[in-house]
Structure formats: C-alpha cells, structure tokens
Amino acid sequence: MELRGTLEEFNLPCVIQLLEISRKTGVLRVAHADGSSVLCFDQGHVVHAEHLDNEGLEAVFSLLRLLRGDFSFQTEAPPQKRTITLSSEHLVLEAARLLDESRRDEEPEWRPWVLEEEDEWFGIKE
C-alpha cells in the first residue's frame, strides 16, 4: 500500500490516526524544508521516529509541529529500532497538549487596551 499527500491537505495527526485505524506496518516519510523525517509503524502503532537530530518521542513532538511538506507511506517490514512505546492515540494527544502549552508560552499575555486620556477601558468609564 502506498499513501501520498501534503501536510497542507492532511496534517500528520490525521495521517497517524488513519494508519492506526488501518493497522498498517511500514514507514511514513515526510519531506520538509529542513530535510526529511520518518515515522515507523507496526500494526498501526508508531514505534520509532526520526526528525532532524532527534529520535523517539522528542522527534514525534517536533515533527507534529510541521505545517508544510509532503508525505508518503510505504508498506515495509516492521522496523528493528523501537524508541516509542506509547499508543498512537496517546502520542497524538500528548503532542497536541505540548504544542498548546508551547504556543501559550509564546503568546504575549492579553491586556485590555486602556485609553489613558479619558481613563476608559473599551469606552466604559470607571
């Protein structure tokens, strides 16, 4: 089985879930601006990942941040190297949680706009 697409059309969590539901074994290769990365599956479970200089969970969590690139899945023998033991579902949920937390840390704290001249807060006088 071969599956191809772009991350603009199908994000990696969706592709991972599809491969998990289908219980596929093989390698998902992702070509992106920084090079290429791999996610290895065994019976639908992500068992190994490589992204940039990272392996395992760290590689998955950074890989799932990608918004652009091309992916292809090829059915292959189960990988010998296993660096991930979490279920694919838990892996995607944990990555989403970490991504949400990192974005929250990056965003400036929201503050209401105060009009100094009239000491108003969105037009409501105190």
Please state the pTM of the whole predicted model: 0.76
Q: How far is CA 123 from the centre of its chain?
A: 42
For 34-65, what is each residue's pLDDT tens digit? 999 999 999 999 999 999 999 999 999 889 88
CA–CA gap between residue 98 and residue 104 (Å, rounded): 10
Q: What is the largest CA-CA distance in the chain?
A: 71
Specify the pLDDT at position 107: 54
Domain boundaries, the chain: 2-114
Q: Is the dihedral of CA 41, 46, 47, 52 positive or negative?
A: positive
Low-confidence ranges of the chain (pLDDT < 70): 105-126
Find the distance separating the first CA and the last CA of the chain, reported in whole Å: 66
Query: Tokens at residue 62, please?
Result: 């950074």
The answer to whether the CB of 18 falls within 8 A of the CB of 12 is no
pLDDT of residue 115: 47
Token pair for residue 101?
């937390």
